[in-house]
Amino acid sequence: MYLSARARLILEQLLNNNRPVYINELAEDLSVSARTIRRDLKEVEEILSSYQICLVKEHRILTLKGHDSDKQRFRWQLMDLSYNEYSPEERQQKILKSLLKEEGLKLVGLANDLNVTISTISNDLTKIEERLPKTVKIERRRGFGVSLQADEAQKRALMSELFGQQFPDYRLLKFFQETSRDLATSDWVEDRLLDFVSESLLKKVERSVKRWRSVNPETISDEAYANLIVHISISVERMIAGKFIQTYENNIELIHYPEFTAAQQMLAEILELEPEVVPNGEASYVTTHLRGVKTAKSTFRFMENEEIEVMILVKKLIEQVEYALGQKLPKKHLTKGLIAHLRPTLRRLQQGMRIYNPLIHSIKQDYEDLFKVVRRAFDQVYQERPTPDEEIGYLVLHFGAVLLQVESTNRFSGLVVCASGIGTSRMLVTRLRQRIPQLKKLETVSLFELGRKKAEGHYNIIISTIDLGQVDFDYFLVSPILTERELSQISVFLKSLHSGYHKKMAHEEQEAQLTLFEATHFLEQQQIFTSIVLALLKNFNYSKLNENLGTMEDEVRVICTQLLEKAPEIDVEALVSTFLYDGNWKVFGLPGTKIGLFHARNESIKEPVFQLFSLEQSLSIETMNHTKMPIDRIVLLVVPEKFSQEGLEVISYISTLFVDDQDMIQQVEDGVKEEVTTYIAQKLLTYLESKGK
């Protein structure tokens, strides 16, 4: 059975929206007239009738009627229906695919292949170029044809993005489930792989990535898992075709990561080569993807530079968004979620990796204002590289979630004016309460009662289904069934009434009695945290380095030597090397302060060490933004190579003090030894008390 491109797009809209759809809404989304949509509906009805689904048309509103099982069956089979034309988006995807694989393509050849005019192809090329990264260009030369000007890494990123657009993650994961592999699925895969990757190679890569995932201690989401398979499959296919990446950005730094070895072994296994034969550039490229899919669990290890960088970035981002919104946000869960997300995000941005976000269009449409706010805020706090909308879209979801949390704590009241009868009034009020739960108090009134009711009480909003004419107050004029756009306008208005985040009242619920096992576990946890804090306080010291040594290496050696007093087992030279020469660890300064952070793990350390140093002469060190800054205070945090999760949590807390706590920063920069020591002791004791609650 054949299906036109527009009819297929209409069906996708009807199936993906769990609500009635307006004809005008469809026309706007597909950039055609309402008359054109009505003409296409005949084809849509014919297709649906063969699947026992009925298209109901009432008052320019479309609804699908039928059993959920029939709708689900049709949803899957829609992918397999043949179609005799391409939508503009599909046509542009096919053109880009051709450009990625070949050079010197002729416009007339593309036009003949896609059954359109040369003018249409030329317009498509212009639209494609508008969406490409700024560093990628489409070159048109008379006599030679059209070609894509991009390096190999950029081409692979674009291939992965195209793959993701036509091969959704859920479909890929379903394909990898052995029990789900049927003939229809296999045929669908072959048709959708865009000639980039063979099915056999895709399965081979999936098995290799699956083994790596099974032994990886960090959490990797299913979406990231699917994306990783795509990236590696395309890389291997390109290598087989003789398209190699011999050198890759940050090659020297990447080879120090454990993921580099994993990438070498993975590529060697798939290609049936020795690991030493795999080009460093290819292994480095895959390393960025292995590191790019990792997220952190519920507790975070702020022992690497990137973790501190993420923490600082998140703090600044939240501040910027709060300022733009004019309200405070609940930071605990927001910070935790943003840190987990931004860790791989920064890796992708630093390596120039693109990500596919299937929700980006709906996010921009549903959260238009919030998207603009987050985009401006992130561009202000992160200026190293351009950030694609796809990355911003995921950040918007984090902020949108906490805004919904804030809104759900608000209580608004409203009057609903409706002249269409009791049934319509109830339906309108029910829909308002379902979609805007912060409208806790809603009352329906007639037009004649409105004046009296409004005078008797204070209402935050007035909503009417009839034109009230010239009145001295604002109100929303809506249709009886409430469109999505009207609901959005009401929601935005209520947000504007809320100027601050109100803290919840203290918990009044009685604490449940602990079982013997729970009580034992709780006390054991408390004992672990207490012993860690005790060790830190026993080893704490605030020293002044009077020597004007001049060089960073000399200062670091003096500091490490002084640690021998508290930890005589320390290998000083190994620790110096860790701070200065190990690619995984660096000394860095906190922007806006005079403080430098020295974070490291070392196998010669038996107990955690936390110390402060005051310098006689300022040192110039690198910040997270890769600029130089002077420091005259050093915060030293050194822990054993194998440290407990509880210990990492305590170190994480101490790290946050030097990023979030302005009083701590001021104490370290201006306070005397006794004041600083007392302040730190109080903060650690307060932290212990919080663990006991």
Q: What is the pLDDT of residue 668?
A: 87
Among 465, 497, 529, residue at a domain's last position: 497
The CATH number of the domain holding residue 659 is: 3.40.930.10
244 and 212 in a single domain? The answer is yes
Q: What is the pLDDT of residue 180?
A: 46
463 and 523 in a single domain? The answer is no
544 and 654 in a single domain? The answer is yes
Find all residues with CB under 8 Å of 549, minimum gap 6, and list them.
Answer: 555, 558, 617
141 and 159 in a single domain? The answer is no
SS3 for 22? Answer: strand
Residues 691, 693: Cα–Cα separation, whole Å: 6
Residues 298, 572: Cα–Cα separation, whole Å: 34
**β-strands 61-65, 21-22: how paired?**
antiparallel
318 in any annotated domain: yes
The CATH number of the domain holding residue 128 is: 1.10.10.10
Q: What is the pLDDT of residue 351?
A: 65
Find all residues with CB under 8 Å of 545, minimum gap 6, and list them.
Answer: 555, 558, 559, 613, 614, 615, 616
Please give the model's pTM, rounded to 2 decimal places. 0.48
The CATH number of the domain holding residue 463 is: 3.40.50.2300
Domain of 78, in residue numbers: 2-83
Regions of the chain with pLDDT less than 50? 82, 178-185, 188, 190, 194, 296-304, 421, 499-513, 583-585
388 and 431 in a single domain? The answer is no
6 in any annotated domain: yes
70 and 120 in a single domain? The answer is no
List own/partner pairs for 338-341 with CB under 8 A and 24 or more apart.
338/314, 338/395, 338/398, 339/296, 339/300, 339/310, 339/311, 339/314, 340/295, 340/296, 340/300, 341/295, 341/394, 341/395, 341/398
510 in any annotated domain: no
Residues 60, 185: Cα–Cα separation, whole Å: 36
Q: What is the pLDDT of residue 31?
A: 73
545 and 653 in a single domain? The answer is yes
Task: Supply 32's token pair.
Answer: 């055609």
Domain count for the chain, please give it: 6
523: phi then psi, degrees, rounded to nearest 5: -70, -35
Among 59, 83, 107, residue at a domain's last position: 83
187 in any annotated domain: yes
Q: What is the pLDDT of residue 514?
A: 52
**H helical segments located in 498-584:** 516-539, 552-562, 572-580
315 and 171 in a single domain? The answer is no
CA 203, 294, 638, 644 torsion: positive or negative?
A: negative
**β-strands 145-149, 54-58: how paired?**
unpaired
336 and 394 in a single domain? The answer is yes
277 and 358 in a single domain? The answer is no
Among 109, 133, 150, residue at a domain's last position: 150
687 and 591 in a single domain? The answer is yes
Q: What is the DSSP string of 404-434?
A: HHHHHT--EEEEEE--S-HHHHHHHHHHHHH
Q: Which residues pair with 597 in a beta bridge?
A: 588, 635
Other Cβ atoms closer than 10 A to 587: 21
627 in any annotated domain: yes
Q: Strand locations in 50-156, DSSP E?
A: 54-58, 61-65, 82-83, 137-141, 145-149
506 in any annotated domain: no
511 in any annotated domain: no
Find all residues with CB under 8 Å of 452, minimum gap 6, and list them.
Answer: none
Q: What is the pLDDT of residue 374?
A: 94
281 and 187 in a single domain? The answer is yes
299 in any annotated domain: no
